[in-house]
Amino acid sequence: MEFDLQLEDGRVVVAHDVGGAEDLEPEQVLLALADAGAGAHLDLKFGTDDGALEIAAVARAVELLGLERLVVTTGREEVLRVLRGWADERGLALRLGLSLGQDVAGRPLREQVAIRWSELRPRSRLEGCGADVVVAHWSLARLGVAGWARRHGVPLVVWTVDADRELRHWLAPGRAWLVTTNRPERALELSAAARRRRR
């Protein structure tokens, strides 16, 4: 299960947008997932100066779910560096993903091109922040990130895949390590149908 962690009034909440009526405590969600034997894709949508809140949230997720059922992602490279340092100090093989596809609107054209190029060939960015998973919107993944990830043996998380055509594509074996969708029931149906056809 993928969910966003936001910072609201000094506390970490589960919410797609800050101030949403659906705000939940991360503990509630993590306990429910642990009880169900499910895993979590924690997407950190905030960054603090010292990383203490991010570390606390991830540490609790590791405690409740274990490392095998957890991946932590963010577009903030400084947050990933802090989390990688924390995990390495403790000998934890924590999966950390760098989210690509930052908004480039309003930036000079040269800067826009440089950012997009760094996303299509993200090795130096991943190595620089300690990420070992690449995370991309499905359109960016189609443009070349998926091919790059396959060639370099880097797990790929593709978001947000909702259309049947894209779900069929990304759920095919070898295309993505993890797919994020707003239509999980449909994704499971398509995945099951594809497995039956391959038999």
The full DSSP string for 52-104 is: HHHHHHHHHHHHHH-STTEEEEES-HHHHHHHHHHHHHTT---EEEEEP----
Domains and CATH numbers, the chain: 1-98 (3.20.20.190), 100-199 (no CATH)
Reported confidence tier of residue 19, pLDDT bands at 50, 70, 90? low
Q: Taking residues 86-95, report their average pLDDT.
A: 98
The per-residue b/e assignment along 140-171, b for 16 or more CB within 10 angstroms, e otherwise, is: bbeeebbebbeeeebebbbbebeeeebbbbbb
What are the tens digits of pLDDT across the range 42-87?
999 999 999 999 999 999 999 999 999 999 999 999 999 999 999 9
What are the tens digits of pLDDT across the range 162-179?
999 999 999 999 999 999
What are the tens digits of pLDDT across the range 34-44?
999 999 999 99
Query: In sequence order, what are the beta bridge partners of 14?
Result: 5, 24
Q: Which of these, 194, 88, 177, lies nearest to 135 by C-alpha position?
A: 177
Average the pLDDT over each of 69-73, 75-79, 101-105, 122-126 and give the range with the smallest value.
Answer: 101-105
Which amino acid makes up residue 87? A
Query: Do 65 and 39 meet the contact criterion of CB atoms below 8 Å apart?
Result: yes
Structure confidence at residue 22 (pLDDT): 63
Chain position carrying tokens 């000094």: 10
